[in-house]
Chains A and B, each alone.
Chain A
Amino acid sequence: MNNFFIILFHTYLTKLKTKSFLVTTIVTAVLLIGLTNIPRIIEFFDKDGDAEKVAVIDTSGQLFEPLQEQIKASNGDIELVHFTDGLEEAEKQVEAEEFTGVLELTLTDDQLPAAAYKSMSMADSMVVTELQSGLQQLKTMMASAQINLTQEQLAQLYEPVPFDRAALEENAKTEEELNQARGLVYVLLFIIYFAVIMYASMIATEVATEKSSRVMEILISSVSPIKQMFAKILGVGLLSLTQMAAFLLVGYISIKQNLESMEGGFFEFFGFGNIPGATIAYGVIFFILGYFLYATLAAFLGSLVSRIEDVNQMITPMTMLVVAGFMIAMVGLSTPEAGFITITSYIPFFTPMIMFLRVGMLNLPFWEIGLSIGILVGTIIILAIFGARVYRGGVLMYGKSNSFKDIKTALQLSKKE
């Protein structure tokens, strides 16, 4: 087998077998399953407790029934019990945990309902909120009856103002689509951000480990540094794809199984209802390109340090770039059309995140996407050529210094004269 592939698969397999990698993958997968099962988990814990029983002392004699109807209609978990043995007895039963709380209903001078609620603690706000809103509606009904409003008049009063938004641009995303896109882009941006930082520093550490353990001397005498560098970048790249594929698979299966319980709510909000394939495809493209850009940078930065402890210091500027890109992207989520965002999306170090954001949120002409990808690929190639030369000299340098001045020395070492 070609040396290139021996290194590639060696990097891939040894990394795959490390405990830290397995633990990270499993923990993240478990979290994913947890996240996609949130509705079920909530349900599971809720089933344990019976319906909340609230004792109601109705001094007016006319409020209990309508309130019970209201509450039943809105929330099946709260059961109202008409209590007639007096407040003191009710409080005793609350203390004995027969009831969650006791609600005392009275009528004010205006013949409108008023209430007092007593429970063991103030912690459970859900029941209180339900009771309160139930009573509020009851009051509205009673008050409108007093001034002789009909149901139609009432409905008219509460009807929201019709408010339509429309974009004039052709194919522009509707507000609804934009919200969906925002959720998806947000999640994918996070993935790109974490993955780039994680895998790039993995490469830098790997190179520095080989250097500090001096196994590098033997390696470079068998295989050219350039071959090594790219085999390593691809090996870790393969690893990242494996991990991502595992997460996607777990997530997909988990979501499929929970599809019914997840309609509406959280997942709808994040735009997972109908995932646009193009956004995912661009996400993958920008993830891969971003990975190559930063992995190349990390590999040659890693080749400049002599000790593993210095790796973090060395790749800090790189991490800063990623963080800056992510921050700008976060701002861009709400203003994807700002000029600032447009400009930064062409800066290669930010392109993977910011151009992806624009692609996901806006309808861009293809040449814009093509241009940014072109610039990005060009930068990767330049960085790879430059990085390979630094790497070739860098791996031969030992010493306590680890500054950017070393780049010059490394280039000098690798110079063919």
Chain B
Amino acid sequence: MVLKLENVTKKFGEFTAVNDLSLAIPEREIFGFLGANGAGKTTTFRMILGLLDPTDGKITLDGKKVDYTTSPIIGYLPEERGLYPKLRVKDQIVYLARLRGMNKHDALKELEYWLERFKVPEYLDKKVEELSKGNQQKIQFLAAVIHKPKLLILDEPFSGLDPVNVELLKEAVLDLKEAGTTIVFSSHRMEHVEEMCEHLCIMQKGKPIVHGALKDIKRSFGKKNLVIHADFDLSYLHRFHGVTNTKRTAEGVHLQITGEEIAGEILQDIVGKGFIRKFVLEEPSLNDIFIEKAGASYE
């Protein structure tokens, strides 16, 4: 399923939540949808789900308009967790799956498979309020994927999970992708995005400010990170031309520089001043890019 957003704009009265957003997300792909709080991510998701109508532009799934007839092929994991606290896991997952067009028997079978996979088969008859937050999260994830959606929207899927469970869920997401699901993934944990998404988009005030393949974004960002560990004082480097940011660490400095050639100049400058234990030129992390791009809105 190809999800396409064309010049989508959403206004609430005077306030523009999403402004002229165009995206195309291909099949078998995890698309990173990032943005600071209040950048318009949830509004965009709600429009994709058909809960809100865009003020302008259109959203299509394989050329068809998204509405309630397409709901059986869409899965949604909302940022705010939502399950019936008083209902048993079995009852509510089967209920939610039936609302997505599954029959009772298949839903139950699928549920048992997933509980087994998440190593919690004993939760079948437990009430949700009895589960820990992390385990509720697994159930929530399960509710989003049980009906084998073609388009899956994951809003902060890993929050509140321990590293073991994060791996468990990540693997599940990657498997779904392999199976052909189009996945829109939103997270504030940049290392997860970097690891899973090939394409991404960073939103700021309703507008995409960075959009494209992860590799291209990193390349076009230009700046690189330079890590130097040495026995002598490196603090004078923050005055070096081409250095845009300096962070002192216990063993040396982390520098942000405008290009590879600066690294060469710095190396020439420090050679001979003392013992250098480490000198590494790194690609910028998504975290750096996000802070630089989206952080601008806070200044």
Contacts and interface: CB of A to CB of B under 8 A. Distances in A.
A224 B70 CA distance: 12
A385 interface: no
Interface in B29-65: 46, 49-53, 55
A37 to B, nearest CB: 36
A217 B85 contact: no
Contact of B71 (A217, A222, A398, A416): A222
Contacts of A215: 82-84, 92
A223 B81 contact: no
Contacts of A142: none
Interface in B108-157: 143-144
Contact of A6 (B53, B85, B95): B95
A320 B76 CA distance: 40
Interface string B71-87: 10010101011111101
Given A221-B51, A223-B99, A216 B13 contact: no
Given A6-B99, A223-B71, 17 more contacts: A6-B98, A7-B99, A10-B95, A14-B87, A210-B84, A213-B82, A213-B85, A216-B82, A218-B82, A219-B96, A221-B71, A223-B99, A224-B68, A396-B52, A412-B13, A413-B52, A417-B53
B76 A218 contact: yes
B199 interface: no
A218 B78 contact: yes
Contacts of A213: 82-85
Given A214-B82, A216-B82, A223-B71, A416 B53 contact: yes
B78 A417 contact: no
Interface of A: 1, 3, 6-7, 10, 14, 209-210, 213-224, 396, 398, 412-413, 416-417
Contacts of B52: 396, 413
B100 interface: yes
B96 A413 contact: no
A197 B84 CA distance: 24
B236 interface: no
A416 B71 CA distance: 19
B224 to A, nearest CB: 41
B12 interface: yes
B170 to A, nearest CB: 22
A222 B78 CA distance: 13
